[in-house]
Amino acid sequence: MSSDLTNDHHAGYPNIRMRRNRRTDWSRRLVREHNVRADDLILPLFIQPGSNSPSLPTPIPSMPGAFRYTISDLCDKAREASDLGIPAIALFPATPQELKTDDCREAFNPQNLVCQAVRAIKKLNLDLGIICDVALDPYSSHGQDGLVENGQILNDQTLTALCEQAVVQAEAGCDIIAPSDMMDGRVGVIRQALDSKGFADVQIMAYAAKYASAFYGPFRDAVGSSGNLSAGDKKTYQMDPANTNEALREVALDIQEGADMVMVKPGMPYLDILQRVKSEFQMPTFAYQVSGEYAMIKFAAQNGAIDEHNCMLESLLAFKRAGADGILTYFALDAAKALS
């Protein structure tokens, strides 16, 4: 192509050369618009009952590299996360099947796995926040996030149960309550319940836009709820993946009810939602790189299709670019090591 033709088709050339800033590594770093840091990461951890033995922690086959930990092992992971500069961990229990009931009463037991784990980690005196999930599915015999009657999810009755669960977790020492159930009105009643019990400083990170996604499968394996849910689904309370404006209404309601932070879940398939939420509300906004997203990268890397290290970091950068202030990711420890 002649220089005349080039000039005709590219106004400003050769004065404007976009590749100049890309020529060297230092220059690319200098003009970089977004970065991922350890400060941006939250590490989800799965808890299982039992004492340490050579067979523990327990691998999760559908999530390569992820494990269920006893509380002692969990404390070691908490120390590691803190040492790497990760600001917070999120705890999820693999409740024994015999403790799962229709009324989900194990959720309110001050000696349940989550409460025991919170107290044990707090004794370590780490500079590390603890996030506790508030939903009934890890404790329910039916696998749903709410109480069920005649096949229907009971919204208002579930709210009472969620308040009791949140207060028990706060009493154990939880720093951030994270309602993931998607019942209407739950943030407001949980805020009132916490305040009335003297926990006004406990934060709420609302799963404000949580979709009825097919990407949660490995997580349900990890907490042992997939068998309980069986052929059921959560479409009557989690959001329709086709909707975007509805997400803004959900987030607005949670903010009005007292949420300190909001979350979009899943992550990469919903970056458009994340961007809209951050742009609209300018709230501390988080995204969850869920188990299915993590598993896809892991299995693809294991089979030589992609480079795990670079795809991991690129995926996390995508969340930051879309507006996330932080990312819940099972890659948190590996990413923090790489970023250091």
Q: How many helices (H) and strands (E) does the chain have?
A: 13, 12
Residue 210 falls in the annotated catalytic set: yes
Euclidean distance between the first and the last CA atom of the chain, given in angstroms as a whole number:
46
Phi and psi angles of residue 146, each rounded to the nearest 5 degrees, phi first: -135, 175
> For residue 138, which of 160, 115, 154, 119 has the smallest C-alpha distance?
115
- From the number of C-beta atoms within 10 Å of its C-beta (0-12, 13-18, 19+), residue 330 rates as buried
E-strand stretches of 99-237: 129-134, 147-149, 152-154, 176-179, 203-210
Closest CA to 330 of 287, 291, 286, 274: 291
Which residue in the list 100, 210, 234, 320 is annotated as catalytic?
210
Q: Is 314 labelled as part of a ligand binding site? A: no
Integer Cα distance of 172 and 317 in angstroms: 34
Amino acid (one-letter) located at 321: R
> Residues for the chain: how many in total?
340
Residue in 265, 278, 298, 320 annotated catalytic: 265
Known active-site residue 265: yes
Residues comprising the binding site for Mg(2+)? 250
- List residues with catalytic annotation: 210, 265
Q: Which residues are annotated as a binding site?
A: 250
